[in-house]
Amino acid sequence: MRKRLLLIVILTLTCLVLIIANWPWRWVLIHGGSASKEANYMLSGVVPPTPDEFIDYAIYTTKECAVFSSHDSPEKAIAYCPNGSPVDTSEIGGSLKHIFGAWYFAEVQ
């Protein structure tokens, strides 16, 4: 019984470390809640003042997505697309890889 419990704990911790070590997952875990609120405002046409949490990000919208790109690493972007991945991703600058839910990762070219 103890061996089984220890195995489950080790596997769970390993999975969490792998998820947190991956930049897109880590970004969504840390910023996802407030970023989705900000994205929904922007996609509805309302542009509120930028929260302090996103002061170091370039945030823009396309027809279907809100895109968050860090000034430090503009080649990476996180896109919030509530209606699924758009057919045309040229405005984002690269192909989208699904993270989970409405979140996508783009390596901007």
**Per-domain boundaries in the chain:** 2-107
Closest CA to 67 of 21, 29, 107: 107
- pLDDT of 69 reads 87
pLDDT by 10-residue block (mean), the chain, 109 residues: 88 77 81 90 85 88 87 82 83 82 84
Helical segments of the chain, H only: 2-21, 23-43
- pLDDT of 90 reads 76
Which distant-in-sequence residues (6+ apart) come within 8 Å of 85 by Cβ? 96, 98, 104
Gap between the Cα atoms of 22 and 48, Å rounded: 30
Largest Cα span, the chain? 56
